[in-house]
Structure 1
Amino acid sequence: MRKALLQLHTAVFLWGFTGVLGRVITLSQVWLVWYRLAITVVSLWLLYAALGKIRRLPLRSAGYISLIGSILAFHWVCFYGSIKLANVTIALTCLSTTGLLASFLEPLVMKKKFDFVEIGLGLFAIAGIAVIYWNHLEFSNGIIVGLLSAILTVLVSVLNKKMIDQYEPEAITLYQLSGGFVGLSLALPLYLAVFPEPAQAPVAADWLWLIVLSWVCTIGTFFLYIRALKKVSAFTMNLTLTLEPVYGIILAFLFYQENRHFNSWFYVGFALISVAVLFHMWRLLRPARPMLHGSEGNT
């Protein structure tokens, strides 16, 4: 159990670290994601071929999973775009609202009833974002793009629920990331027409950090996460995942001293978001906690 918890926290910490890498890599957001996906997809196909883990999926399912991968790629573009337009802290603060945004999107996509308490918590979090927005207007574009990033990652999670029980996680990951690379490549001409910029190639230092981002923070974290899931409960997993923005913000403060860019109103807004997220998690997991706690003790 201790090893599984270490694996899970390491994966979540590395996910938080991707924000730091997004700032240090000099490429613009779209080229950063394109190279990240290119390195990751080529590496995964070679790795799975060597391990004999490549599985054929029905054409319709493969197309559906690939479409989700394209949405994931656009989420990454928006996430790194938020970092470039504002900073790591703003991007991760927006990302911390995903659980609450899911309360709005999931009922729409899955055709479930709305939970009005969760809607109230969502409005509480939106109030926190509004406080940050109006008191840090220099980061307004970054906040808008960061919220779009959060919406897209929620959409990916909701759509993945329809596939997660049908196929192995390894197969879903392979086809999803491959679909993301193809989808982003096809969308690249349109993106560059709307947001003109020259084609970019990584400098020497960028290649190093792109490899770290692809091999360690994408492929490595996936395997750590999957192995941890075999041991820890859903309660522990969901609770630990809420630490991703916390880890990332702490790293941004340590590496870039981003705390110097914020006044006291940022912390008021972040506190509102944090209270909403924590209460949402407590409400979501409280009924299952006794049973899940018992299951943890048996592993």
Structure 2
Amino acid sequence: MTKQTALIQMHIAAILFGVSGIFGNLIASDSFVISMGRSIFAIFAMTLLSLHFRYIPWRIPLKTFYTLVIAGILLAAHWVTFFYAIKVGNVAMATLGFACFPACVALFEMLFFKDKITNVEYCLLLCVSIGLIMVTPSFDLSNGGTLGLLWGIASGILYGASVVVNRYNLKSTTGVQICWWQCTVVLIILLPFTITSIPSISKMDWLWIACLGLLCTGLSYYLFISSLTAINAKTASIIIALEPVYAIFGAWILFSEQPSIRTIIGGVVIILAVAWAGLQKQTNNTTKPVIE
């Protein structure tokens, strides 16, 4: 694979990660149903990837299984809160709130691994905090945009926690195995809460849910990891940081969710901070990413 092809694939992966919020907005079902359905198609996609890469997804050490269950619970909570953020707010607020997760990873690594926070991470925490304050529509919890942002932040915190938990698994399992197990746990957890709703899911909802699982999970993940054979992880982290840009632009075009100048400036602060931090620090989590 050439570097140019890899860069194109990485941008496509970032777009697919970003449009997950757009699909979430198109689906009429609630966030529990969306997350459950996504896990079904994601498991199918990850099984195909396992066959492609000649992995046996369920063959993992017992110790790793326990941490993957915890990571799967966190992923389920992340998906549910993210899609709920879109339902109560909008794509821009949910996505920008979720974009705080790299700062959350730094905090969790300090708390659980006793890692020292570097100057780069201090700057990241400060810039993300400033950006989130700037994009807040109103400091009133009755405001839908504010609620969407708060739920988006909660989603980012949960995803950051899952990334840190998966730090235990990276040495003994592949990224595809991690994703396969996490999606399986998500399905097991959410199915009891959604099984009565399955007959009422419309055909269009199933179509968009399939797109979430197959395109925004399976295809995006495949493009991501295959691109890493030709470009380095720092370059990948910068491109993936553009995910909110693609999501907000898509929502603007499709749903007329025009962001305010304040939202744009705050979003730029967050995105630039995440991209700059990715340039300064390369982690194992980038080379073996966990599912979004």
Query: Which interval holds the TM-score relative to the shorter structure?
Result: 0.7 to 0.9
Question: 1:233 aligned to 2:232?
Answer: yes
**Alpha-carbon distance change, 206 to 171 in structure 1, aligned in 2, over 3 angstroms:** same
Match of 1:103 among 103, 106, 116: 106
- Residue equivalent to 2:89: 86
Q: Which residue of 1 aligns with 2:24?
A: 22
Q: Is residue 267 from structure 1 mapped to residue 264 from structure 2 by the alignment?
A: yes
Match of 1:67 in 2: 70
Question: AA paired with 1:10?
Answer: I
* Residue identity matched to 2:197: A
1:240–1:49 distance in 2 versus 1, CA, 3 Å: closer
**Would you say the 8 A contact 1:34–1:184 is kept in 2?**
yes
Give me the whole-angstrom Cα distance separating, in 2, the residues matched to 1:278 and 1:49: 33
CA contact (8 A) 1:79 1:146 kept: yes
The Cα of 1:179 is off from its aligned counterpart by 1.7
**Cα displacement string for residues 63-83 of structure 1 (whole angstroms, at most 9, x for unaligned residues):** 321221221121111111110
Which of the numbers 107, 128, 148 marks the counterpart of 1:142?
148
Q: Which has the larger radius of gyration?
A: 1
Deviations 1:68-106 (A, max 9, x none): 122112111111111001000111111222222222222
- The sequence identity of aligned pairs, in percent, is 26
- Going from structure 1 to structure 2, the CA distance change for 1:111 and 1:185 (only over 3 Å counts) comes to farther
- Compute the displacement of 1:141 (Å): 1.4
Per-residue CA shift, 1:239-274, capped at 9, x if unaligned? Answer: 111111111111111111111xx4433234334434
1:134 offset after TM fit, Å?
5.2
Counterpart Cα distance in 2 of 1:42 and 1:30? 19
Residues 166/239 of structure 1: CA separation in 2 closer, same or farther (3 Å cut): same
- Residues 203, 59 of structure 1: alpha-carbon distance in 2 compared, 3 angstrom cutoff: same
- 1:26-62 CA distance string (max 9 Å, x none): 1111111011112322554477579864241122312
Distance (whole Å) between structure 1 residues aligned to residue 272 and residue 226 of structure 2? 30
- From 196, 199, 211, give the equivalent of 2:197: 199
Answer yes or no: is the 8 Å Cα contact 1:70–1:184 preserved in 2.
no
Gaps of 5+ in 2: 283-292
Q: 1:284 aligns with which of 273, 278, 281?
A: 281
Paired positions, count: 275
> Hey, what does 1:251 align to over in structure 2?
250
Q: Which residue of 1 aligns with 2:287?
A: none
Match status 1:181 vs 2:178: no
Q: Conserved in 2, the CA contact under 8 Å of 1:104 and 1:119?
A: no
Gapped regions of structure 1 (runs ≥ 5): 193-197, 286-299
SS at match of 1:258: coil
Distance in 2, Cα, partners of 1:222 & 1:266:
29
Which residue of structure 2 aligns with residue 158 of structure 1?
164
Alpha-carbon deviations, 1:134-179, whole Å to 9, x = none? Answer: 5374212111111000111111112222211222222222112112
Taking only aligned residues, the RMSD between alpha carbons, in angstroms, comes to 2.6
TM-score, normalised by the number of residues in structure 1: 0.82
Which piece of structure 1 moves more, 5-14 or 48-57?
Answer: 48-57
**CA distance, structure 2, for counterparts of residue 50 and residue 3 of structure 1:** 20
CA–CA separation in structure 1 for the residues paired with 2:235 and 2:269: 23
User: 1 CA distance for matches of 2:50 and 2:268?
Assistant: 43
The CA deviation string for residues 8-43 of structure 1, in whole angstroms up to 9 with x for no partner, is 111111111111100001111111101111232255
Match of 2:176 among 157, 164, 170: 170
